[in-house]
Structures are given as structure tokens and as C-alpha cells.
Amino acid sequence: MLSIKLAWQQTLNLWRAGALRVLVFALIVAVTAITAVGFFTARVDSALTQQGGLLLGGDVAMLSDHVIQSSYIQSAQSLNLQSVNTVEFASMVTFGDDNQLAQIKAVDTGFPLRGDLTIGQSTLDAGVLVKHGPKQGEVWIEPRLTNLLAVKVGDQVQVGMLDFVVSQILVREPSRGGDMFNFAPRLMMHTADLPATELIQTGSRVKYQLLVAGAPQAVKQFYETTAPLLGRGEKIQDVQSARPEIRSALEKARQFLGLSAMVSLILAMVAMVLSSMPYIKQSLETFALMRCFGAAKQLVLQVLAWQTAFIAVLSAIVGIALGYIAQLGLEQVAGHLFVDALPPIPLAPIGMALLVSLAMMFAVVLPHAWQIRHLTAMNILRRETIAPNASNQFKYLPAALVMVAAIFWQANSVKLAAATVAALIGLSAVMVLLAWVCINASVAIMDKAATSKTMNSIKMGVYGLKRRMGLSIMQMIGFSIGLTVLMLLALVRNDLINSWQASLPADAPNRFVINIQSDQIPAVEHFFKQHEIKGSQVLPMIRGRLMTKNGEDMQNKVWKTDRQQRLAQREFNLSMAQDLQSDNQLLEGEWWRENDHGKSYMSIEHDLAKNLGVKLNDQLVFDIAGAPIEFTVTSIRKVDWDTMRANFFAVTTPATLNAFSASYLSSFHLPKEKVLAMNQLVKDLPNLTVIDIAALLAQVRGIMQQMSTTIAFVYLFSLVAGIAVIYAALVATQEARVMEATLMRVFGSSKREVTVAYLTEFVVIGFVAALVAVVVANGLAYYLSQYVLNISFQFNVGAVLVSLVLASIFIPLAAWFGLRGYLNVTPRQLLQSV
Amino acid sequence: MQHTPVIETQQLQYHFTSHDLNNNAQKIEILQNVNLTINAGEQVAIIGSSGSGKSTLLSLLAGLDVPSSGSVQVNGNAFSALDEDGRAAVRAQTMGFIFQSFQLLPALSALENVMLPLQLKNNPEARALSLAALKQVGLSERMQHYPKQLSGGEQQRVAIARAFATQPNILFADEPTGNLDHATGQMIIELLFEMNASQGTTLVLVTHDLTLAARCQRQLVLSQGQLTDQVTS
């Protein structure tokens, strides 16, 4: 086909002439960013799902308070999914004369379907990883239970009617999950032994679990078909809902990865639009001549379409290849930390990258194609409307629309996308206004300034800005968008990593002690003091059930959701506190003063308040040990659950509940070397239950570390894209500026004068762009930190000043480097070349 | 000698409306009642002062624009009445162009510039014909050079090669020496007429240069948009 042949030749010609370089570079950066981040996040996403699976023991868990119906198991089998059953209940374990309540877990042979268990031969053993549970006739027990019962491997313990050999110490069970305050130490056995124990009788409180794993699509199908069929006492959990404490860390990281990719995309698109000028100009000239030589309109448009497609597809291919290589780098940096091997590369990002590449190219070209339709061959002779009409800003509309669509797609959050689009529009509007004011003010100052040789050159630069107002503003917008996102990423990235690290400091609590009796508090506090364990607090815990809210019965009320129902009917752990904990934030009302102590005021956690419709000043009646106690809600708190410290949904003032028997709990950081001392304390006070969350903390920390590294790597893409925008903004007006510099030299300006004029122009452009970028980037960083990423924002004056100075120095310098080559040739040569 | 008309105009008029600073509409007459006939193989110069309407007349004859009224016929067929694509098709088959500002594409080498109109015709000999044309204008050695690397005279020689490479029946030249010094202009004129003679092309050129005009068989004088005189050499 003639049009394809011509288009291919045109593409090669344009490439050789250098009209495509920045454009193609920007396109490649966009595609690389999309594919690398797309490949990687998709792979990490599915790796994280697997990781979540490790924590669940399968891809999906179906939980029930009665025996799992066989129809669910058949449904899993029909989808070629693996499935295993587990049964959990509390029961006494006997060793000699000692009894201890334990959380029994009976597992099928295939357990765990995902992840592994760590077993060892003693409580201090680091252990080995295994992918199976105990054999029939054997049990594995947690170190806590060995301490409490003074059992060792090889001993025989009695569970119900059956005796078992303790064959291993269960060092770690990632799939434990559940409410950490409600479990006794674990004893694991095989399901085949369960009937002989005769422990499960009618009315026993038993948690039945069906774990399912297999191909993602089949798992999804199982989840979606099972969820609507669930009956009373049944629920289904996937990896998303299994471990909220890890999910919260991952969500933030995913948001940031998405944000980085989106920023790279925006930058690359801005760079493309800025660098499309030479391409469009040369293409239009060619097409005008083609029309003159007799080419039909349709042929010209076909050539343009093919040419655009060639550029888009070829750039996309290079970008996809680079994206693939880059994600291998990402895999090296962070991949192996998630799982042993990342899942295979998905194809979706390739399609998306191609689509974005084509959409962007066509969006840039479309308005000009429209222009070509109305271009008569006469235009070529008159040299009119061949060059794109710079005053017609509507030609950027299709590119802007594609950019908005890409932002919404990449952001994956309407709130975030809308904020970004609003910020971009705001930035452009502010830029136009500020540029107009600054340029006019500079011109007014120059008009009154004294005359000298250098001053004249400076004036020339300032007047140049006004002469090219449109171009200057466009260039400032380009620079400021580039600078804004670079600053934004720098600000948010650091905040994100810092806030993560701050939320889980090295001395974050790794142990919970519950069941402390009031007469044991001195002993526990003595232990803390003796072993220099800081920051620990012994908190009272009194059980109570919410009966009424402002007289309304809360127990028999019909709630809309299961969660509301569960929350309303559960037994709360009420506490008393003098001060607001540092990981709590007061949202409404006031925290009590010292003279309020003893008054029945209550502070409620905001998520609970929202679910149960509790508002400030509501009257809540709790049933505590059979007595109805009325509280007034005086504050609503937000609790940062990520800190892993002990926190309560409902807290009242000190002394209010002294009349009731309380048990106490504490959370603290136990250094490794103090583990034996801790065991001694437990031996001395055997009723204490110590919950070890060190392994969980290590997991969360690991994920944070991996994601921080990943973010640093992805940040590089944005950096390259940011530089591409700044370069494109420099190149966008280079031709006009070289032409002017040439004429200045022809009319007698020295190289120095031309340089001073040129630098003056770019100092103003760089400064105004940096000023706007600093304001917008900080505003956006504040918004993102506060409302999207939920992390605190710290304004950094130093960074602002450094950014302003650097932009005002480096932008003119970079611009000067671009022009420098033209200053070293004779005016005659220059005239010929322009 | 048999006279076969290739271009004929009847009552050709061209005007447009312009608005002054007070936004008052003003009708500007460029061409009025131009009637002319150009025969096959003839060399015709359109001369006149600046603003007399020479370039506009040339663009109407070549179908690059359409008249406000009147008509242009090419080879006995209605030409100005055709739509843009129809006129483009006629141009592709029969016409060649040389412009005052050369109109070479900066992204294309000399050879590629010459090849462009041939490629548009999907001519399989595009490269060979272009090489031959460049050889004829003495630029074989510089065929891989870009317009920026060529002098004004050389660029116009490339434009001439481009115009003749398609072997057009009619060649339109708009001030072909307007941007060149006298000596280079002379060289270009020689080349133009030499190639015209060798191909028997009908030549229509617009010029200020009376020496160049005198080389043509006929000179049409335009004054204030009207054909005032015809001189036959």
C-alpha cells in the first residue's frame, strides 16, 4: 500500500532529521514506566497474594461454627482446587498432674496448603521449615505450652480420651491468624485422631475451617460462588481480609508504587506534548508539499495515521523491552524478599502500554490532522498556517483528555486521580497568572532600569520573555510540572518510609502479657524495672457487654451487616486510662482532666463508633459483671493499630471501674537476650499468658523494607521522566531562540550579550516555575499524606529553598548548554542553518 | 506549428474580504476578468509589479486555490470546478512546481526531496529517475546532503530536479530566481530552459526579472489584477 510505504519512509526521514528524538524518548519513558511498574506490581501483587495465602494457610478459608457442608468441598473439587479441613477448639491438656487450657488445632494431611510451619526439638531451637502437620498419634505444641506444663519432646500428654507423644515443638505457625487475645497456647494434632479424643460433643464451641488453594481464577470463582451461599455461622476469608495489620502496610506501598508510575506517565506525556512541535511542524510541511504535488487528502491523512502508528508501536516495543529489563532489576532488588520466586510475567501491562502509546501519539497528532483537512495547497506558497498555530490552545485538548484518562486508570482511586488532575489544572492556571504578572513586572522594572551594556542584554532577555509570552508560559508550565512531581515524590517518598519506620520502631512491642491479676502487678512491674524494659504500661481490662445506647436495646437490634452484629454482641474489653496513648488521635470531644477521674466518661474508637452509630454525648449502658453501668461518650478516638501496642475500643476514666474485678495486660519490647528471664517470670506466675508477636513484626518489617527498596527503584523512573520533561521544555522553544540569537549576532550583539540575554530569560523562567512547583508540590504532598496515604506531613523549609535555588541555577545552565553550540559558529553559518 | 491549448481561463476573478482596525469589511480585488490561453510546449512569463496578482494567478492556474468566479480549464477539461482532491489528481498527473523559497523539506536529503513526488505516484523507478534528474542538474555528488547543507543555488537546482523528475506536461515556476544572486540566477535560468527544451514541457513562470521573462516566448503583463498586455518574443 502506497500510504504505508510513504509513511515508513517519512518516519525514517523524520528520525534521521532529529525531529522525533525527544518525542520518541518521552514515549519510551512512558511505556517503560507503565510496563516496568505494571509487570512488577502485577507480579508482586500475585506474590503478595501468595504471601497472604501463607498467613491464611490457603488462598481462601471458609470458616464455620458447624461441620463444613460437603457441597462446599465438592464445589472446590469441581474447580480442581486443593482443599483441607482444620478443626479448632479449646480444651485442657494434661501432663502428669498438671492441666493447661490449650487451643487445639486438628489438621488434615495436606495442611498447610500455602506456606509452612516451623518445628524444633526444644523451646530455644530456631527450628526447620516443614510443609505438613503432625502424624496420627503425635502432637506438636507451642513453646508456651511446654513452659506451662514443663513438657519436653518425647513426653506423653493427654488430650481428651487419648494419649499423644509430643513429637515436635511448634516454633512458628504463620497461618495462626485470629484474635490474639483469645487464644490459649497451641497444640496441633491430626484430624484422624479427633474422634477418639471424644472432645467434640453437641454444643461444643468449635471452629471448622475449609482451606482452599489453586489457580487464581478458580480460587476467585470459588470465592465468588461460595460467598452468596453462606449460611448462619459461616464466613469466607480471602487473603485480603485475612491479616489487616499486613494489608495496611501493603496498601500504602501499592498506592505509592501506583503513584510513582502515574507520575512517570504524566511527566512523559507532558514531555511528549512539548516535544511534538518539531515533529508536527515537519510533518505538516511535508503534507502541504504532498498536497501540492497532487496527493489526495485521504492519502495524506492515511500517511499521517500510519506514520503515527509506526512511531507509537516502535516506541512501545522499545519501551516494553526496557520495561521488561527494568522489572528484572526490580525483581533482583525486591522480588526474592517476597517469595522464593515471583510468578510469571503477565501480559496485561503490554497491552496497556501499547494502548497508551497509540492513544498519546494520536492525541498529539489529531488536532493537526484536522488542520491538514482544511489546508489548501495554496498555503504552501504563502507559507501560512503550515506551522502549528500556537495560539490555538485547543490542540492540546485530546492529549489532555488522554492524560486524564491515563491518570484515572493508573491511580486506581478516583480520589487520588481527581486530586492529581485538579492539581495539574491548578498548577497550569497559577502558572499562567504568575508568569503573566512576573513577566510584566520584570518588563516594568527593566523600563526604568539604568542603561549599561550588561543591563541592555538583561533587558533584551526580559523583553524576549514578553515577546514570546505564550511560549514562555508553556515552557514554565512544562518546567513546573516536571519540578512539582519530582519534589512531590521526594517529599512523599521520604515521609512514607519515615512514617512506616516510625510506626514500627526497633523497640516496637513484640510481646503481650495478658491475664495479669491485680496482686501480680508489682511482680510484673518489678520484672520490667529489673530488665530495663521501657515504655510498658500495665493496663486494666474489664469485660462488659453493650446493652443500650440512649435507651435503645443494642443486643436485640437487627443490624445491617454481620460486622455490626458481631461488634454489638461481642463482649468488650473496657479499660481505664489517665492519658491518651501516643498512637491515639482525638477526633471529636475532649480527653478528661484530672478532676474528671472517677466520672463515668467514655472514649470510643471511631471505627466502632461509626459501625454502631455512637455519637458524642450518647449514653451507653454496659453490663459489667451483671451490673448496668452508664457512660457518657465524651470523645471519639482514632487508633493507629499498626503500632502493635495494646489498645482498647472503649476507655473510661481512672478509678471508675475499680469496684469490678479486672485482669491486666501489658505490651512491651522484649530483647532476645531476655527471653529466658521472661520464661522464668511465666514459671513464677503460671497464670500469665504471654503472646509472642515477634514473628509477625518481622514479617511486617520485611515487607516494609522490601517496599521501601522497591519504591526507591521505581522513583528512578519518575526521575528520568522528570528530566525528560525538563529537556523537552528546553527543546520546545530552542528553534525560535536560536533564530533570535542568530539575528542578535547578525545585528552586532556579542556572544556574551546573547548569553546574558538568554540566561536572564531562563533565570526568570526557572525561578517562576520552581516557585509554583514548590507551592503546589508541598500542597499536594500535604493532601496526599493526610488524606490518601494517612501519614503525617512535615513541611521542610530547607528543601523549599534548595529547590528554588537549584532550579534557578540549573534550568538556565541547561538551557545555555543547549544554545552554546550555536554561539561558536559564525553568523553566516547560523543564518544558513536557520 | 499546431496550437493546442493546455490552459485556458475565462473571466477569472479572485477577491477576498479583509477587516480593518475598526472591523470594517473591505473587499480586496486581486484578479479581475483574466482571460488567457496557454498552448502546449509554450513558455509563458507572467510579469508585473509586486501585488499585481502574479502569484495568485499562478496558484489558480495550478489549481492550488479556487477562483472567486470564472473558470480554469486544463487540457480542455474543467479544472477549477473540481474539488480539492480532483485538482490534486490532475496536478499529480500533469504538473510540476518550482518555488521562490525552494520548498525543500529539511528532514529529507536532496535525493529524498526529489523522490517525494515520484513516490506519491508510486513510481517504482523513483530512485533511478531522481538520481538521473540530480545528475542532470549537476548534484549527483551532493544527493545525500540535507537542504541546510546546500547553498541557495544548489537548493533551487534540487527543486528543478524534483520538478522535472516527474516529467510534467506543465511546469509552474514562482519567482525561481527571486532568492538567488544574479550569477546563480542566470545559471538556474539556463538549467530551467535547457531541461524545459529537452522535455518539451509547457512552462508558466512568474517573475520580476525581465531578462528571465524575455527568455520566454510570451510575456503576460499583470497590472492591478488585470491582464494589460501580451508580448510575444
Assigned C-alpha cell, A35? 510496563
Interface contact flag, A292 B91, Cβ < 8 Å: yes
In A, what residues contact B, Cβ < 8 A?
Answer: 2, 5-6, 9, 13-14, 16-17, 19, 282, 285-286, 289-299, 376-378, 380-381, 383, 832-833
Taking only Cα atoms into account, the Rg of chain B, rounded to an integer number of angstroms, comes to 18
Query: What is the layout of strands, in order, in the sheet containing B202-207?
Result: B95-98, B170-174, B202-207, B43-47, B218-223, B226-232
Interface contact flag, A297 B84, Cβ < 8 Å: yes
State which residue of chain B sits closest to A377, comparing Cα positions: B64
Q: What is the pLDDT of residues A153-166, one digit of tens each?
A: 999 999 988 999 99
Of B65, B101, B120, Cβ closest to residue A294: B120
- Statement: residue A617 has pLDDT above 50: yes
Of A17, A292, A299, Cβ closest to residue B107: A17
- Statement: residue A728 has pLDDT above 60: yes
Q: Which residues of B touch A14 (CB under 8 A)?
A: 107
Interface contact flag, A291 B174, Cβ < 8 Å: no
Q: Which residues of B touch A298 (CB under 8 A)?
A: 85
pLDDT at A830: 58
Least confident interval from A621-635, A677-691, B20-34: A677-691
Task: Round to the nearest angstrom and report the end-to-end CA distance of chain A.
Answer: 35
Q: Which residues of A touch B91 (CB under 8 A)?
A: 292-294, 377
Q: What is the mean pLDDT of residues B21-49?
A: 87
Residues 6+ apart with CB under 8 A from B189: B176, B177, B211, B212, B215
Backbone angles phi, psi at A538, to 5 degrees: -95, 115
Distance from CA of B154 to the nearest CA of A (A): 13
Of B63, B85, B107, Cβ closest to residue A13: B107
Q: What is the pLDDT of residues A556-571, one digit of tens each?
A: 888 887 778 878 877 8
Interface contact flag, B112 A295, Cβ < 8 Å: no
Q: pTM score, two decimals?
A: 0.65
Interface contact flag, B119 A5, Cβ < 8 Å: yes
Q: What is the pLDDT of residues A729-738, one digit of tens each?
A: 777 777 777 7
pLDDT at A790: 66
Q: What is the pLDDT of residues B96-112, one digit of tens each?
A: 888 887 888 877 889 98
Decide if B154 touches A, using CB distance below 8 A.
Answer: no
Interface contact flag, A17 B120, Cβ < 8 Å: no
Our separate counts of H helices and E strands in chain B read 7, 10
Interface contact flag, B106 A17, Cβ < 8 Å: yes
Interface contact flag, A294 B116, Cβ < 8 Å: no
Q: In angstroms, rounded to a whole number, what is the distance separating the alpha carbons of residues A708 and A710?
A: 5
Q: What is the mean pLDDT of residues A415-425?
A: 82
Q: In angstroms, rounded to a whole number, what is the distance separating the alpha carbons of residues B79 and B88?
A: 10
Decide if B106 touches A, using CB distance below 8 A.
Answer: yes
Give the confidence band of B45 by pLDDT, cuts at 50, 70, 90: very high
Q: What is the pLDDT of residues A210-235, one digit of tens each?
A: 999 888 888 888 988 888 888 777 88
Interface contact flag, B148 A295, Cβ < 8 Å: no
DSSP A730-748: HHHTHHHHHHHHHHHHHTT
Which of B:164-223 have CB within 8 Å of A? Answer: 166, 174
Q: Which of A3, A8, A287, A292 is the best substitution to test chain B (most B C-beta atoms within 10 A)?
A: A292
Interface contact flag, B88 A297, Cβ < 8 Å: yes
Q: Which residues of A touch B101 (CB under 8 A)?
A: 383
Q: What is the pLDDT of residues A347-384, one digit of tens each?
A: 778 888 899 889 988 888 888 777 777 766 666 555 55
Interface contact flag, B92 A294, Cβ < 8 Å: yes
H or E element, residue A88: strand A82-95
What is the percent of chain A with per-residue pLDDT over 90, rounded to a whole number? 15
- Statement: residue B192 has pLDDT above 70: yes
Give the confidence band of B35 by pLDDT, cuts at 50, 70, 90: very high
Of B107, B117, B122, Cβ closest to residue A14: B107
Q: What is the pLDDT of residues A287-339, one digit of tens each?
A: 878 888 888 888 888 888 999 999 999 999 999 998 888 878 767 766 555 55
Handedness of CA A459, A462, A467, A468 (dihedral sign): positive
Q: Which 8-state DSSP code applies to residue A535?
A: S
pLDDT at A178: 42
Give the confidence band of A43 by pLDDT, cuts at 50, 70, 90: confident
Of B91, B107, B108, Cβ closest to residue A294: B91
Decide if B10 touches A, using CB distance below 8 A.
Answer: no
State which residue of chain B sits closest to A303, comparing Cα positions: B120
Decide if B112 touches A, using CB distance below 8 A.
Answer: yes
Give the confidence band of A241 by pLDDT, cuts at 50, 70, 90: low
Backbone angles phi, psi at B171, to 5 degrees: -120, 125
Q: Whole-number mean pLDDT of chain A? A: 80
pLDDT at A311: 92
Interface contact flag, A377 B119, Cβ < 8 Å: no
- The SS3 of residue A693 is coil
Decide if B124 touches A, using CB distance below 8 A.
Answer: no
Handedness of CA A423, A428, A431, A437 (dihedral sign): negative
**Do the interacting molecules here have an ipTM over 0.85?**
no
Of A16, A298, A378, Cβ closest to residue B59: A378
- Statement: residue A507 has pLDDT above 90: no
